[in-house]
Amino acid sequence: MSLRNTFQGMSSWTQLLFLCLFAFFGLIVSILIVGVIGLVAALKSGDVTNVGALAESINYLRLSQFLSTIFIFLMPALLCAYLFNNKTTNYLKLNKPVDVKYVLISIGLVFIIQPIISFTAYYNEQMKLPSFMSGIEKWMLGMEQSSAAMMERLMAGDTMSTLFINIIIIAVMAALTEELFFRGAMQQIFNKITNNYHISVWITAFIFSAIHMQFYGFIPRLLLGALLGYLFVWSRTIWIPILVHFLNNASAVVIYWLYHGKPEYEKIENIGVADSWWTILPSVVLTVIILLFLLKEYNQKHKYAEL
């Protein structure tokens, strides 16, 4: 019996375990590689104590982000797709045709949902835990501040090269690798376990949001993850959630590059709250209409496919 046959014969729970194990080993490998690169660079500079300073450099941070997405998300997804199915691209829905209608709707959705994202993010940030959980709250605040500081350093700069690099790392790489891992691999495994795509979408979205370790942005990321999950199911291709994920991240990078430090930046970031609170209603109505339309389309196609 081949290795592939062994993995394909495993239960869905066991396949999920291996996906998580591959991701964990990918984390270890990425840490080791980044550490070795830092040590080699310090040795070349003639100052071993310079490792700490190198770790604080923006290029080192970008390299770390790039490698972590490769080894934690991309490689495990591709490995599982290879082991769990005879056709890797078919398993990840990479070879499925992309309907132009879904492309146009998805592009529109990215901008239509922004007031909802900002609205939920604003109230998520107001979260307060009970006094007996003050230790957990302190830890969560620390994680939030650390992530925010890292993102500030990563996106700092007003040159075209900075914009290009950040779009590659934050938008292209994040969208491609995370969607292949969460929607392409994890969500499909959960779908086999639950036999209910709604449950698999929300479980995966929950894990997707939690793994970012930014609890004061948990709800908007959960909603975004669910949207990506449904688009994956309804469109039957991984390219649509990759596109939406890319556009969402890329727009944030471009807005930061253009407006950070200017009065317009806060207004754009807070659309859906404060003076622009009125945008939340049309955002919700239009989003619901679009999602119901996509659901109807999916159900009709699913029904005809079974005939």
Q: Are residues 223 and 275 in the same domain?
A: yes
What pLDDT is recorded for position 79?
95
- The pTM assigned to this predicted structure is 0.91
What pLDDT is recorded for position 53?
55
Distances (CA, A) of 143 to 124, 173, 208: 15, 23, 16
Say if residue 305's pLDDT is above 80.
Answer: no
What pLDDT is recorded for position 24?
96
Residue 120 tokens read as: 């939920």
306 — pLDDT class (breaks 50, 70, 90):
very low
Distances (CA, A) of 187 to 47, 145, 191, 201: 47, 30, 6, 6
- What percent of the chain clears pLDDT 70, i.e. is strictly above it? 93
Q: Are residues 147 and 48 in the same domain?
A: no
| Residue 41 structural domain | 1-88
Q: Give the H or E element holding residue 48.
A: none
Q: Are residues 28 and 147 in the same domain?
A: no
Q: At what angle do helices 218-235 and 197-210 cross, to 10 degrees?
A: 140
Give the mean pLDDT of 164-169: 93
Q: Are residues 119 and 255 in the same domain?
A: yes
Q: Are residues 168 and 294 in the same domain?
A: yes
pLDDT averaged over every residue in the chain: 88
What pLDDT is recorded for position 148?
80
Buried residues in 131-157 as b, exposed as e (16+ CB within 10 A): eeeeeeeeebeeebeebeeeeeebbee
- Whether 197 and 191 have beta carbons less than 8 Å apart is answered as yes
Of the three residues 57, 88, 119, the one that is the final residue of a domain is: 88
What pLDDT is recorded for position 233?
95
What pLDDT is recorded for position 307?
35
- Whether 33 and 83 have beta carbons less than 8 Å apart is answered as no
